[in-house]
């Protein structure tokens, strides 16, 4: 199935083709408006969207946006086309919102998206090659690189003072880990 979504032609959208934008958390009005909690540090980047994908069950369905605005700085107030009643809005409560990966703003320098750095090599200034990033643990107060080295998982804080350079071309992140941190995992 071919869908025109803003500037994107989408064929059978799957979760791996998208990034998680947020979740619809509650109704805003009796006219079908909804509030979505966005999973971003910059909610204003997503204030003027034309459309989003809504995950209903296992399907990703495009919903076109009539209007949207930020509400209390971190919530997005959304009015979807053809969602005009409370009953229509009820069906979308607790649904996740996604956008195609191509819709992500390009980041430069040492800023990166978590999905972007999977399989990057981590090199420490003192230790040398630490291993390969297999994931990011963002369930802690500070996100952590999950690095695999010869079957051992090493966790390194994702901190601006530790990350020295993100080399996208070489798929490598240069760090300066606190002394002894890497060795704790290898002893």
pLDDT in tens, the chain (187 residues): 334 444 444 446 677 778 888 999 999 988 999 999 988 777 888 888 899 999 988 888 889 999 999 987 679 999 999 999 999 999 999 999 999 888 877 788 888 888 889 999 999 999 999 999 999 998 888 999 999 999 999 999 999 999 999 999 999 999 999 999 999 999 8
pLDDT number for residue 72: 78
Q: Name residue, tokens 């409560």.
A: 93
Break the chain into its structural domains and give their ranges: 2-103, 114-186
pLDDT tens per residue, range 6-34: 444 444 667 777 888 899 999 998 899 99
CATH 2.60.40.10 fits 2-103, yes or no: no
H or E, element range at 84: none
- pLDDT for 40 equals 79
Dmax over Cα atoms in the chain, in whole Å? Answer: 61
Q: Regarding the domain with residue range 114-186, which homologous superfamily does it belong to in the CATH classification?
A: PRC-barrel domain (2.30.30.240)
Give the whole-angstrom CA distance, residue 148 versus residue 130.
8
Q: Which residues does 177 contact at the CB level (< 8 Å), separation at least 6?
A: 124, 126, 127, 130, 156, 162
- Residue 112 has a pLDDT of 85
Quote the pTM value. 0.65
Which of 172, 182, 29, 39 shows the shortest CA–CA distance to 104? Answer: 39
């Amino acid at each position: 199935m071919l869908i025109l979504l803003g500037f994107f032609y989408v064929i059978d959208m799957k979760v791996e083709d998208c990034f998680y934008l947020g979740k619809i958390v509650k109704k805003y009005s009796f006219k079908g408006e909804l509030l979505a909690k966005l999973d971003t540090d910059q909610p204003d980047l997503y204030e003027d969207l034309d459309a989003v994908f809504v995950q209903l069950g296992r399907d990703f369905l495009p919903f076109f946006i009539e209007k949207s605005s930020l509400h209390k700085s971190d919530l997005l107030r959304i009015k979807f086309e053809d969602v005009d009643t409370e009953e229509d809005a009820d069906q979308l409560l607790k649904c996740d919102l996604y956008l195609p990966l191509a819709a992500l703003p390009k980041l430069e320098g040492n800023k990166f998206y978590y999905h972007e750095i999977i399989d990057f090599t981590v090199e420490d200034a003192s230790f040398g090659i630490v291993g390969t990033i297999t994931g990011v643990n963002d369930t802690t107060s500070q996100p952590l690189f999950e690095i695999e080295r010869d079957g051992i998982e090493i966790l390194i804080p994702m901190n601006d003072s530790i990350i020295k350079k993100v080399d996208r071309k070489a798929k490598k992140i240069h760090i300066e880990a606190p002394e002894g941190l890497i060795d704790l995992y290898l002893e």
